Structure 1
Amino acid sequence: MDVHVRELRYFVAVAEELSFTRAAKNRLFVSQPALSKQIRQLESMLKATLLERDRRTVTLTPAGRALLPRARQIVERWDAAARAVAEVVATHQMTLTVGFHTRIGRGLIPRVTARLDEVMPGWRLQFRQVSWGDPTVGLAGGDVDVAIAWLPVPDDGTLSWRVVSTEERWVALAVGHRLADAGTVPFDDLVDEPFIALPSAAGSRRDFWLAAEQRRTPPRVAAEADTAEETFEAVASGLGVVLLSAGNAEVYRRDDVVCLPVSGIPPSQLAVVWRTGDHRETVRVFVEACLRTLGTEVEG
């Protein structure tokens, strides 16, 4: 059986972090059991122990040290090959694929499309909704060329971004919720509520939308949802509440959900995101059009 690039990618992450926990949460955005399973499969196929681990430490074995530079090279070459193929296909089809987790709205796409028609006639935009479980919004796998995404995104140097909108965080509640008739809801009134969470693979973005940094105790997670549509169905059923941006409170307006502003937590940031080092003219035009439409703030 041949080794898959994914298994080598997982091995490189653990070898560089010397921690299954950090590699799973900060680099790979997968569960730790899933990561451990992939490493065991790799060791089984190679018939060698690559990592020595106990409860506190992870160290490379001689076999692991021999594999690491070669695994890095294979992963880097594969990523470069995938990007090259995606760029050729996009250029041939004159299509720029835009990834998103939640509906974009805000009048952004019509204006960006008009700008693209003006500067690069013949090109068109194609849109692809990506599960919350992919924190790179399809960019890491080469499924999309650019993305409109809520920060944070993985800050490992592979992605660049510019903030296009800063919006206060609101809360979505079922119509019959005890706070549904309130005006502005202090976050302290929500800390004991059951929340609908992004999947664990969403990493730091899951923590942000649970307002983990503003809590003294861990949140009560009633359920996880892979998409915004799943989230609002869960909220409408009374299963839990969820934080969302002020703009999305309008975009996802429903008769069975009430959205209210929340005080006591910092705002959210919507960004245009692309792969670092992708200098294609279409990507540059798209980014500049987003900034021109909604305004520029922070560069990542």
Structure 2
Amino acid sequence: MDAHLRELRYFVATAEESTVTAAAARLFVSQPALSKQLRALERRLGFDLFERQSRGLVLTRQGSAMLPVVRELLAAWDRGYADVRALTQPHTLVVGMQTAVGRALQGPAVARFRSRFPGWTVSLRLVGWDDPTAGLADGTSDVAFVWLPVPLDDIATRVLVREPRWAALPAEHPLAAQAEISFADLADEAFVALPVAAGPLRDFWLGVDARPTPRLIAAEATAADEVLELVSAGVGIALIAEGNARLYQRPGLTFRPVPDLEPAELAVAWRRDDSRDAIHVLVDSIDPA
């Protein structure tokens, strides 16, 4: 019997979270998709892994026996993949990011890193908002610039910059005439949202921490440029970090501070179990000052 690694990861996450809702948020997938994959795995195995109860999921006897086996298998695969990838690209680090970073962070950091590792290459890649870990979760990035919160416990972070949240508005929007905007003034506005897969990061950029009632979602976007194109077209408004308001200036857009919101936090992130010296030298090379 063959099982897909993705299904096994879904099984472990669901076993650890005990509910499909929590596991789906952790995995950045929808609840129906996760439930479908779990049932497919159970059919393939020929036995149930979970007993479904009103308060959540409980492992069956077979599921309890399977869990340590699957954990060991996945750990071995992850170690092996990392080792082979290092052979393929032995002197390259991939830095993921969700938006333009700017803030004089990247250039000096790469220069400092290369002074310590002169034969290494630092590659930058843009990752969609549907992966709030910017490639760390699936191993396609080694280090990442991310906006907090990051929903996985096995990712370490260090905050680099704290910035006020601003509102991005169409230039002709009535609120654009104000020097600053209260979040209460945005209560009836339609928002351009990050995808559901962004999890708690989507909620943060919708201001759910300040007003947990549901917001009207006009559209979803997986990249900063998509967000701002939708805003300039008048589809909706969006929240954005102050530094990004400067980086993404363009015709048709106005940015105004929303001072009653908690600031956004830009962080450098890496996998806790990645002990390579190059990773920690690169992280330490990023100086927020």
Work out whether the TM-score is over 0.5.
yes
- Once residues 37 and 231 of structure 2 are traced to their aligned partners in structure 1, the CA distance between those partners, rounded to angstroms, is 35
- Once residues 222 and 209 of structure 1 are traced to their aligned partners in structure 2, the CA distance between those partners, rounded to angstroms, is 14
Residue 120 of structure 1: how far off its partner (Å): 1.6
- Once residues 67 and 110 of structure 2 are traced to their aligned partners in structure 1, the CA distance between those partners, rounded to angstroms, is 44
- For 2:2, the equivalent position in structure 1 comes to 2
- For 2:236, the equivalent position in structure 1 comes to 240
Residue 4 of structure 1: how far off its partner (Å): 0.5
- Once residues 81 and 178 of structure 2 are traced to their aligned partners in structure 1, the CA distance between those partners, rounded to angstroms, is 51
State the AA in 1 paired with 2:214: P
Residue 146 of structure 1: how far off its partner (Å): 0.4
Question: Does the C-alpha gap of structure 1 residues 90 and 162 become closer, same or farther in structure 2, counting only changes over 3 Å?
Answer: farther
- For 2:114, the equivalent position in structure 1 comes to 117
- Once residues 81 and 167 of structure 1 are traced to their aligned partners in structure 2, the CA distance between those partners, rounded to angstroms, is 39
- Once residues 8 and 31 of structure 2 are traced to their aligned partners in structure 1, the CA distance between those partners, rounded to angstroms, is 16
- Asked whether the equivalents of residues 19 and 57 of structure 1 are also in contact (C-alpha less than 8 Å), the reply is yes
CA RMSD of aligned residues (A): 1.5
- Once residues 191 and 62 of structure 2 are traced to their aligned partners in structure 1, the CA distance between those partners, rounded to angstroms, is 45
Residue 117 of structure 1: how far off its partner (Å): 2.5
Aligned length: 289
| Cα deviations by residue, 1:2-40 (Å, 9 ceiling, x for unpaired) | 211110111111112211111111x21211011011101
- For 2:247, the equivalent position in structure 1 comes to 251
- Once residues 90 and 161 of structure 1 are traced to their aligned partners in structure 2, the CA distance between those partners, rounded to angstroms, is 24
Gaps of 5+ in 2: none
| Cα deviations by residue, 1:107-128 (Å, 9 ceiling, x for unpaired) | 2222122212322212221111
Report matched runs for 1:82-231 at 5 Å.
82-91=81-90, 94-156=91-153, 158-231=154-227
Residue 221 of structure 1: how far off its partner (Å): 1.2
Segments of 4+ moved more than 4 angstroms: none
- For 2:272, the equivalent position in structure 1 comes to 276
The worse-fitting range, judged by mean Cα deviation, of 124-133 and 275-284 is 275-284
- Once residues 280 and 49 of structure 2 are traced to their aligned partners in structure 1, the CA distance between those partners, rounded to angstroms, is 42
- Once residues 16 and 279 of structure 2 are traced to their aligned partners in structure 1, the CA distance between those partners, rounded to angstroms, is 31
Residue 217 of structure 1: how far off its partner (Å): 1.4
- Once residues 275 and 61 of structure 2 are traced to their aligned partners in structure 1, the CA distance between those partners, rounded to angstroms, is 40
Residue 131 of structure 1: how far off its partner (Å): 1.2
Give the alignment's TM-score, normalised by structure 2. Answer: 0.95
Identity of aligned residues (%): 47
Gaps of 5+ in 1: 296-300
The worse-fitting range, judged by mean Cα deviation, of 273-282 and 39-48 is 273-282
- Asked whether the equivalents of residues 86 and 142 of structure 1 are also in contact (C-alpha less than 8 Å), the reply is no
- For 1:18, the equivalent position in structure 2 comes to 18
- For 2:70, the equivalent position in structure 1 comes to 71
Residue 277 of structure 1: how far off its partner (Å): 2.7
